[in-house]
């Protein structure tokens, strides 16, 4: 399939290039459109497929899933959903995840925005070092730090608590958030800031009353990416939220489902659970699609 | 503008630095420490072995094989993803039929943009599960299509010649959507009349893309390249779920090697940390290199 | 005592400790000092009634691997323990990720009392044993059985159960289930098609030919975990050359993989590759996919352990009646009869050396190994235990009855190997990769054995891996 894709891209580009000097713009667009439109559709099908597959599989029986992965469900088996919701406690984990993510997202945004603002707008000694220290955090594999992290969290008395998870999530999201928002704050016009300062606005006032509102689009888009990553976070809660499974977050519950699927063959329950877990994320994306767009755009405006 | 900035810098920077230092930096530093020991992970004891782990690493064929695969990913994934992302973004932003009359996206742009983003909200587990079925040698969608066309049906993930490329394709597939949105956002910030003027001059779409769009989007493309390079150096979960590095280590990546060394088939945490440290430096140098180039460009610009 | 110990002592006393051990001991691994020893351990007085010295009110923490067997069976065992020690508080938890969940607690020196160390997230036993992290279960073996009068626990176990869990002669790991490894086929299909399971290799090849002519693939296997195919191949070699073939492999003896018996077995098995008796596309299937294809009748044979029946329960057609059979004999020169099959104890349980309630952990094992405990397990999860005769009077599913029969027929000719326990990486990664090349036709028998041998050699030469020897 990929070779097919590449072939078509090449073709589309070639057809564009070959006619580069051709002044008959309209015809050129027509031919290219045929290719590119087909390709657009193909890619759309390719990306929509898994979601559809997951959704349909959540209604199938295990036998149907294994013996005919691409067939339609023989009946709408809502019991898969209710089994995932009740037996696998997806409902409770859902709520727990909501609590943790609400906390961690707020903290990440607050600390990320303030740090990024300082990096973007103020000159001081050690700025470069501090900045690279943050950004370097994007590149280290988390699971090598697990054991030391376990002890740090436990010694802080935060083991097995949501507060601990919130702090750790926020800490591990800072690199990306700071990286993204620093670039964003740099693009905001300096003239407004200077005017505000001259008008007697203090440094703090400037940030909260002028810069933060201006940065709203960027904040929203980075918040959404953080939401996605916090919501799907798996390794950290696995280690830091052991034992008491009433405090588990969604990813832990899903993994329990996914792993037991490997041993007990409850594929349908897994798909139902995954669908339940994916829906809110999808809803968030669809609802904020516009903001993500403008958020990413605003960074480019000068 | 100078007076009173230090209170703000301190208030804004100290809490994030503190959080980051405690929960991220200190565990990582300890991981560095662990990389110079022969720690086996399940007792409190470890003997310092100096640089011995790094010396072993130099002669570890499995590690080099994995690094080689990551290097290929580093070379291929960003290029392919960016090209596809730019192509789709162009289509969605100015692939419309109007020709001379103006520059618009194709019909259904917002729907496409939403659908393309789907892989981003799906968990990696489901992506891997899905593609395993797509690549299924007998019941898979891919071979089903090939057989219908009378073409030979390879074993894909079961063949060392194709397995790695199959995983790589999924990696590109799951990333493209994000960059379509990112590039699309950047493009819509470029004033429309530029394009209209160029198109009126008779430039082909290919020329427009190469001469106008890419230079104007260069900053964004570079950011994309950094993200993708980091992603390409990872790829661990996808590989583990789809091929577990096989057949015969043909799709092994450094993250999986590290995982297997620490948690999988062995418990050599000291050695695994050493691999992690090497990986960190590889990623870091790639990123710093890219950031440096980006900064130089910006200075030239202004 | 050993070199490690001496090195450590020197390090602690000398300069090495300051830079190296400083951070590690100071932050990551504080609190887990060996020297604390037994200070916080619970100990009761040993007596005839209480041979293991259990402190009756000491709490017991049990961590169960939540896999194919679930966790209900463990709750039943815990209830039995509690019945005997009503004052003991039992903390039960179940997880799939044993290693990530428990690693920090091992380092911390506060591990649970009973750990069911199993599944893909299992902690590598080589690492645990070499770090002295597991308690010796010797006392358990000597203790009298709970409800089989006149017998010690050891006497009640099936042959080989102790050997599998022993490292350097110390019994450290209780493998609770008993698993047979063989070749599976559907008795229904075979009766309908009038096929006869073949006892010799030549007949097997002839049967494969017949099966293929009937439009069915003779074999399939999990191409993503090709080590499944190493099992019948090694079994063939052991039946041909005797149990010493396995001992040599387990002990990492030079050229153990290239013994005449292994050569004969690899040459024989190459026939099914050469003659294309394997379902097309098998190299691209994982274990569930290949087993499902087999259940759908797309292939006649598959190699697996006795967990196959329960793993496939949801997709097996009614009346499929799967049965296990030993690998065919190479010929009349075989040292072991056709009936000989690989039977081994599996599903490992351990008591961490630093557990607070070691005696309680051992007593918990004694409960599991009582006839009552074992029968309850077999009833709940349809699997055999290492307790001899514990299946008497229990109705078993079809496949499992064939397993019981096969094990009985095999009797004292049964064999096993343990290199996969000693050196997890050797089977899971190295032999696995070699099997993948061999059974997909990309390497010859000689190249296959060569690749296995190279894998074994790298393990043998790796000084950071502790080595074990077993006697014949």
pLDDT per position as a tens digit, A21-80? 444 555 555 556 677 778 888 899 888 887 888 888 888 887 777 777 777 888 888 888
Question: Whole-angstrom Cα distance, residue C120 to residue C99?
Answer: 9
Q: Do B121 and A282 touch (CB under 8 A)?
A: yes
Co-location of C243 and C231 in the same domain = yes
Residues of B in contact with A143 (CB under 8 A): 258-259, 262-263
Q: Nearest C-alpha of chain B: how many angstroms from A294?
A: 7
- State the burial class of residue C345 (Cβ atoms within 10 Å of its Cβ: 0-12, 13-18, 19+): buried
Query: Which residues 257-276 of A are in CB contact (within 8 Å) with C?
Result: 259-260, 262-265
- C226 and C332 together in one domain: yes
> A76 lies in a domain?
no
User: Dihedrals φ, ψ of B279, to 5°?
Assistant: -60, -40
CA–CA dist B261, C304 (Å, integer): 27
B47–C32 C-beta distance less than 8 A: no
SS (HEC) of chain C = CCHHHHHHHHHHHCHHHCCHHHHHHHHHCCCCCHHHCCCCCCCCCCCCCCCCCCCCCCCEEEEEECCCCCCHHHHHHHHHHHHHCCCCCEEEEEECCHHHHHHHHHHHCCCCCEECCCCCCCCCHHHHHHCCCECCCHHHHHCECCCCCCCECHHHECCCHHHHCEECCEECCEEEEEEEEEEEEEHHHHHHHCCCCCCEHHHHHHHHHHHHHCCCEEECCCCCCHHHHHHHHHHHHHHHHCCHHHHHHHCCCCCHHHCHHHHHHHHHHHHHHHCCCECCCHHHCCHHHHHHHHHCCCEEEEEEECCHHHHCCCCCCCCCCEEEECCCECCCCCCCCCCCCEEEEEEEEECECCCCCHHHHHHHHHHHCCHHHHHHHHHHHCCEECECCCCCCCCCCHHHHHHHHHHHHHHHHCECCCHHHHCHHHHHHHHHHHHHHHHCCCCCHHHHHHHHHHHHHHHHHCCCCCCCCCCC
Alpha carbons C431 and C227: distance in angstroms, whole number: 7
Rounded Cα distance, C265 and C438, in Å = 13
Q: Let me know if residue C118 belongs to a domain.
A: yes
d(CA C168, CA B266): 19
Q: What is the pLDDT of residue B42?
A: 85
Confidence band of B99 (pLDDT split at 50, 70, 90): very low
Number of folded domains that form chain A: 2
The CA dihedral of A170, A172, A173, A178, to the nearest 10 degrees, is 110
Q: Tokens 């990769």 map to which residue?
A: C433
The verdict on A148 and A275 lying in the same domain is yes
Residues A32 and A112 reside in one and the same domain: no
**Closest-approach residue (CA) in chain B for C129:** B42
Distance from CA of B172 to the nearest CA of C (A): 21
**Residues C279 and C421 occupy one common structural domain:** yes
Contact C419, C408 (CB under 8 A): no
C93 touches chain A (CB under 8 A): yes
Q: Which of C127, C88, C147, C37 shows the shortest CA–CA distance to C350? A: C127
Residue A277 belongs to a domain: yes
CB C11 within 8 A of CB B49: no
Quickly list DSSP for A42-58.
Answer: HHHHHHHHHHHHHHHHT
Q: Strands C299-305 and C217-219, how do they pair?
A: parallel
> The whole model's pTM is what?
0.83
Domain that holds residue C239: 180-342+416-461
Q: Which residues pair with C305 in a beta bridge?
A: C181
Is A63 within 8 Å of chain C by CB? yes
Report long-range pairs for C202-208 (Cβ below 8 Å, ≥24 apart).
C202/C331, C203/C328, C204/C328, C205/C271, C205/C272, C205/C275, C205/C277, C208/C272, C208/C275, C208/C277
**Same domain membership, residue A14 and residue A87:** no
Q: Tokens 């063949």 label which residue?
A: B159
The label of the residue with tokens 């049990």 reads C62
- Closest to C338 (Cα-Cα) out of C272, C277, C271, C409: C409
User: What torsion, rounded to 10 degrees, do the Cα atoms B104, B110, B115, B117 define?
Assistant: 90
Mean pLDDT of C172-181: 95
* One domain, residues A164 and A33: no
CA B92 remoteness from chain centre: 23
Sign of CA dihedral B114, B117, B121, B124: positive
A96 class by beta-carbon count within 10 Å (0-12 exposed, 13-18 middle, 19+ buried): buried
Please provide residue C166's backbone torsions phi and psi, each rounded to the nearest 5 degrees. -100, 140
Whole-number Å distance between alpha carbons of C71 and C49: 29
Highest mean pLDDT among A26-40, A202-216, B267-281, C195-209 belongs to C195-209
Same domain, C246 and C283: yes
Is A114 in the same domain as A193? yes
Same domain, A232 and A292: yes
Q: Nearest C-alpha of chain A: how many angstroms from C33?
A: 14
Do B41 and A147 count as a contact with CB atoms less than 8 A apart? yes
Q: Write the CB contacts of B283 (distance below 8 Å, at least 6 apart in sequence).
A: A139, B229, B230, B233
% of chain B beyond a pLDDT of 90: 24
How does A1-28 read in b/e, with b if 16+ C-beta sit within 10 Å?
Answer: bbeebeebbeebbebbeebeeeeebeeb
pLDDT reported for residue C439:
96
Distance CA C314, CA A266 (A): 9
Are the beta carbons of C261 and C237 closer than 8 angstroms? yes
The ipTM of this complex is 0.81
CA angle C198, C202, C204 (to 5 degrees): 35
Q: Which residue of C has its CA nearest to B244?
A: C224
Cis peptide before B247 (omega within 30 of 0): yes
Find, in chain C, the residue whose alpha carbon is nearest to that of A69: C289
Reference B120, options B156, B81, B87; nearest CA is B81
Report the pLDDT value the prediction gives residue C17, as an integer from 0 to 100: 27
> What pLDDT digit, counting tens, does each position of B130-173 carry?
788 789 888 788 888 888 888 888 999 999 999 999 999 999 99
Least CA distance to C121: which residue of chain A?
A: A259
Distance from CA of B51 to the nearest CA of A (A): 18
- pLDDT, position A249: 82
Residues A46 and A186 in one domain: no
Confidence of residue C194 (pLDDT cuts 50, 70, 90): very high
Which pLDDT band, with edges at 50, 70 and 90, does C10 fall under?
very low
Specify if A148 maps to a domain. yes
Q: Is there a domain that residue C441 lies in?
A: yes
Q: Are residues A44 and A134 in the same domain?
A: no
Q: Which domain holds residue A87?
A: 83-298
Identify whether A62 is part of a domain.
Answer: no
Asked whether residue C249 falls in the same domain as residue C304, the answer is yes
Torsion angles phi and psi, residue C444, rounded to 5: -85, 170
Question: Is the same domain home to C306 and C374?
Answer: no
Q: Are residues A244 and A138 in the same domain?
A: yes
Per the CB < 8 A criterion, the answer to whether B203 and B211 are in contact is yes
Contacts of A146 in chain C (CB under 8 A): 100, 103-104
As a whole-number percent, the residues of chain C with pLDDT over 90 amount to 68
Strands C114-115 and C342-349 turn out to be: unpaired
User: Which pLDDT tens digit goes with each residue over C20-55?
Assistant: 333 344 334 433 344 444 456 788 888 888 899 999
d(CA A231, CA A246): 17
pLDDT, position A15:
45
Interface test with A, best of B205, B225, B254, B262 (most A CBs within 10 A): B205
Mean pLDDT of C382-394: 88
Specify whether the CB–CB gap between C162 and C156 falls below 8 A.
no
Q: Which one, of C290, C72, C27, A134, lies nearest residue B21 by Cα? A: A134
Q: Is there a contact between C119 and A263 if contact means CB atoms under 8 Å apart?
A: yes
For chain A (length 302 residues), average pLDDT per consecutive 10?
39 43 50 74 87 85 74 82 80 88 94 93 87 79 73 83 92 89 82 80 83 82 81 76 75 69 66 82 79 59 34
Chain A CB contacts of C70 under 8 Å are 260, 264
Q: Which residues of A touch C97 (CB under 8 A)?
A: 238, 255, 259
Residues of chain A contacting residue B30, judged by C-beta atoms under 8 Å apart: 145, 148
Q: Do C11 and B37 touch (CB under 8 A)?
A: no
- The structure tokens 């015969």 sit at B248
In whole angstroms, what is the distance from residue C431 CA to residue C449 CA? 9
List C-alpha distances in Å: C326 to C267, C401, C460.
Answer: 19, 14, 31
Find residue B181's DSSP bridge partners.
Answer: none
**Average pLDDT in the C74-78 region?**
95
Q: Indicate the residue of B9, B122, B145 with minimum beta-carbon distance to A118.
A: B9
Query: What SS3 class is residue B7?
Result: helix
Residues A204 and A274 both lie in one domain: yes
- Nearest Cα residue to C418 out of C344, C356, C310: C344
Q: Cα separation of B172 and A301, whole Å?
A: 28
Q: How far apart are CA A20 and CA A185, in angstroms?
A: 39
**Domain coordinates in residue numbering, chain B:** 52-301
Per the CB < 8 A criterion, the answer to whether B1 and A194 are in contact is yes
Q: Are residues C311 and C215 in the same domain?
A: yes
- Is residue A67 in some structural domain? no
Nearest-CA distance C67 → chain A (Å): 5
Question: What does residue B138 show for φ and ψ, rounded to 5 degrees?
Answer: -105, -45
Residues of C in contact with B48 (CB under 8 A): 11, 16, 19-21
Residue C141 domain flag: yes
B282: closest CA of chain C, how far (Å) = 25
Residue percentage of chain C with pLDDT more than 70: 91
Neighbours of chain B (3+ CB pairs under 8 A): A, C
CATH label of the domain that carries residue C253: 3.40.190.10
Give the pLDDT score at A16.
44
- Chains in contact with chain A (at least 3 beta-carbon pairs closer than 8 A): B, C
Contact B158 C283 (CB under 8 A): yes
Residues A107 and A8 in one domain: no
Q: Which residues of C touch A77 (CB under 8 A)?
A: none
Number of domains in chain C: 2
Same domain, C64 and C156: yes
CB nearest to A242's CB, from C101, C120, C288? C101
Please give the backbone phi and psi of residue B172, each rounded to the nearest 5 degrees, phi first.
-65, -45
Nearest residue of B to residue C431 by CA position?
Answer: B248
Assign B177 to helix, strand or coil: helix
Does residue C209 sit in the same domain as residue C93? no
pLDDT over 60 at C269, yes or no:
yes
Sign of CA dihedral C146, C148, C152, C158: negative
Contact B44 C223 (CB under 8 A): no
**C38 CB neighbour count, 10 Å cutoff:** 10
Three-state SS at B203: coil
Residues C84 and C209 both lie in one domain: no
Contact B287, B234 (CB under 8 A): no
Q: Are the C-beta atoms of residues A267 and A62 closer than 8 Å to each other?
A: yes
Indicate if A139 and A51 belong to the same structural domain. Answer: no
Contacts of A264 in chain C (CB under 8 A): 67-68, 70
CATH of domain B52-301: 1.10.3720.10
In a domain, A18, yes or no: yes
The whole-number pLDDT of residue C327 equals: 97
- Whether the CB of B61 is below 8 Å from some CB of chain C: the reply is no
Residue C359 has pLDDT above 90, yes or no: yes
Mutate which of C66, C293, C314 to disrupt the A interface (most A C-beta within 10 Å)? Answer: C314
Contact A256 C66 (CB under 8 A): yes
């Amino acid at each position: 399939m990929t070779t097919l894709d590449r072939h078509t891209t090449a073709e589309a580009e070639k057809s564009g290039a070959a006619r580069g000097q051709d002044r008959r713009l309209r015809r050129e667009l027509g031919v290219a459109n045929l290719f590119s439109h087909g390709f657009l559709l193909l890619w759309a099908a390719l990306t929509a497929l898994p979601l559809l597959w997951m959704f349909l599989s959540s209604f199938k029986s295990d036998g149907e899933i294994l013996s005919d992965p691409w067939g339609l469900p023989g009946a709408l088996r809502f019991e898969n959903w209710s089994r995932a919701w009740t037996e696998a406690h997806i409902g409770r984990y859902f709520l727990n995840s909501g609590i943790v993510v609400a906390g961690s997202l707020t903290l990440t945004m607050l600390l990320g925005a303030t740090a990024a603002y300082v990096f973007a707008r103020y000159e001081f000694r050690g700025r470069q070092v501090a900045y690279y220290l943050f950004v370097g955090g994007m590149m280290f594999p988390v699971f090598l730090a697990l054991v030391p992290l376990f002890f740090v969290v436990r010694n802080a008395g935060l083991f097995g608590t949501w507060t601990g998870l919130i702090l750790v999530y926020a800490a591990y999201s800072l690199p990306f958030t700071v990286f993204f928002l620093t670039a964003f704050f740099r693009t905001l016009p300096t003239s407004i800031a200077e005017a505000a300062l001259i008008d007697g606005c203090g440094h703090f006032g400037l940030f909260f009353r002028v810069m933060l509102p201006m940065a709203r689009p960027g904040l929203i888009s980075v918040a959404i990416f953080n939401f996605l990553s916090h919501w799907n976070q798996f390794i950290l809660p696995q280690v830091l939220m052991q034992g008491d499974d009433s405090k588990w977050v969604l990813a832990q519950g899903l993994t329990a489902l996914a792993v037991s699927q490997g041993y007990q063959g409850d594929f349908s329950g897994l798909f139902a659970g995954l669908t339940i877990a994916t829906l809110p994320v999808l809803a968030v994306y669809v609802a904020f699609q516009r903001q993500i767009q403008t958020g990413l755009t605003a960074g480019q405006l000068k | 503008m100078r007076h009173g900035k230090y209170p703000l810098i301190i208030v804004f920077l100290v809490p994030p630095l503190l959080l980051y230092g405690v929960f991220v930096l200190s565990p990582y530093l300890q991981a560095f420490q662990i990389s110079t020991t022969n720690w086996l992970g399940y007792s409190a004891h470890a003997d310092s072995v100096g640089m011995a782990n790094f010396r072993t690493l130099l002669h570890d064929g499995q590690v080099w094989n994995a690094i080689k695969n990551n290097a290929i990913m580093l070379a291929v994934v960003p290029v392919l993803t960016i090209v596809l992302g730019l192509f789709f973004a162009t289509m969605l932003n100015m692939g419309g039929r109007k020709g001379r009359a103006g520059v618009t996206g194709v019909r259904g742009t917002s729907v496409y943009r939403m659908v393309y983003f789907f892989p981003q909200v799906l968990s990696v587990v489901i992506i891997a599960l899905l593609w395993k079925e797509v690549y299924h040698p007998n019941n898979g969608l891919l071979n089903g299509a090939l057989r219908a066309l009378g073409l030979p049906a390879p074993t894909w993930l079961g063949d060392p010649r194709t397995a790695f490329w199959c995983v790589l394709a999924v990696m590109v597939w799951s990333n493209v959507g994000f960059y379509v949105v990112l590039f699309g956002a950047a493009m819509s910030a470029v004033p429309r009349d530029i394009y209209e003027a160029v198109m009126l001059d008779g430039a082909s779409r290919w020329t427009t893309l190469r001469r106008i769009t890419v230079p104007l989007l260069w900053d964004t493309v570079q950011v994309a390249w950094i993200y993708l390079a980091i992603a390409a150096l990872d790829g661990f979960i996808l590989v583990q779920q789809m091929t577990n590095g096989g057949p015969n280590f043909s799709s092994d990546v450094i993250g999986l090697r590290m995982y297997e060394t620490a948690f999988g088939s062995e418990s050599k945490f000291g050695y695994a940390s050493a691999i992690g440290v090497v990986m960190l430096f590889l990623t870091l140098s790639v990123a710093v290199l890219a950031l440096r180039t980006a900064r130089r460009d910006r200075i030239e610009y202004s | 005592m050993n070199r490690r110990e001496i090195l450590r002592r020197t390090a602690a006393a000398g300069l090495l400790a300051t830079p190296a051990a400083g951070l590690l001991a100071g932050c990551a691994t504080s609190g887990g000092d060996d020297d604390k020893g037994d200070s916080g351990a619970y100990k009761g007085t040993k007596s005839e009634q209480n041979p293991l010295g259990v402190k009756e009110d000491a709490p017991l923490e049990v961590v169960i691997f939540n896999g194919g067997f679930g966790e209900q069976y463990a709750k039943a065992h815990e209830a039995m323990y509690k019945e005997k020690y009503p004052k003991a508080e039992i903390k039960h938890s179940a997880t799939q990720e044993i290693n990530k969940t428990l690693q920090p607690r091992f380092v911390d020196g506060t591990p649970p009392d009973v750990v069911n160390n199993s599944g893909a997230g299992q902690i590598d036993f080589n690492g645990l044993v070499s770090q002295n992290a597991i308690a010796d279960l010797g006392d358990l073996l000597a203790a009298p059985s709970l409800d089989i009068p006149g017998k010690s626990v050891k006497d009640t176990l099936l042959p080989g159960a102790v050997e599998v869990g022993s490292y350097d002669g110390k019994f450290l790991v209780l493998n609770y289930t008993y698993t047979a490894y063989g070749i599976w086929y559907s008795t229904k299909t075979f009766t309908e098609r009038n096929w006869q399971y073949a006892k010799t290799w030549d007949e097997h090849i002839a049967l494969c030919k017949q099966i293929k002519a009937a439009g069915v693939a003779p074999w399939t296997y999990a191409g993503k975990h090709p080590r499944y195919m190493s099992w019948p191949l090694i079994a063939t070699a052991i039946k041909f050359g005797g149990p010493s073939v396995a001992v040599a492999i387990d002990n990492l003896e030079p050229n153990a993989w290239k013994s005449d018996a292994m050569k004969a077995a690899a040459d024989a098995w190459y026939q099914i590759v050469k003659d294309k008796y394997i379902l097309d596309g098998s190299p691209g299937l994982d274990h569930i996919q290949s087993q499902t294809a087999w259940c759908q009748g797309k292939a006649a044979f598959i190699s697996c352990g006795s967990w196959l029946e329960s793993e496939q329960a949801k997709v097996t057609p009614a009346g499929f009646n799967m049965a296990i059979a030993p690998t065919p004999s190479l010929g009349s020169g075989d040292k072991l009869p056709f009936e000989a099959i690989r039977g081994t104890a599996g599903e490992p349980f351990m008591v961490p050396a630093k557990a607070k309630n070691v005696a309680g952990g051992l007593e918990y094992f004694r409960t599991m190994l009582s006839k009552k405990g074992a029968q309850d397990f077999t009833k709940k999860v349809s699997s055999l235990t290492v307790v001899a005769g514990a299946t008497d009077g229990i109705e078993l599913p079809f496949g499992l009855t064939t397993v019981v029969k096969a094990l009985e027929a095999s009797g004292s000719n049964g064999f096993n190997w343990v290199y996969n326990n000693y050196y997890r990486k050797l089977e899971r990664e190295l032999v696995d990769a070699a099997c993948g090349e061999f059974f997909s036709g990309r390497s010859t028998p000689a190249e296959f054995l060569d690749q296995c041998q190279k894998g074994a050699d790298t393990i043998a030469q790796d000084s950071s891996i502790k080595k074990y020897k077993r006697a014949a």
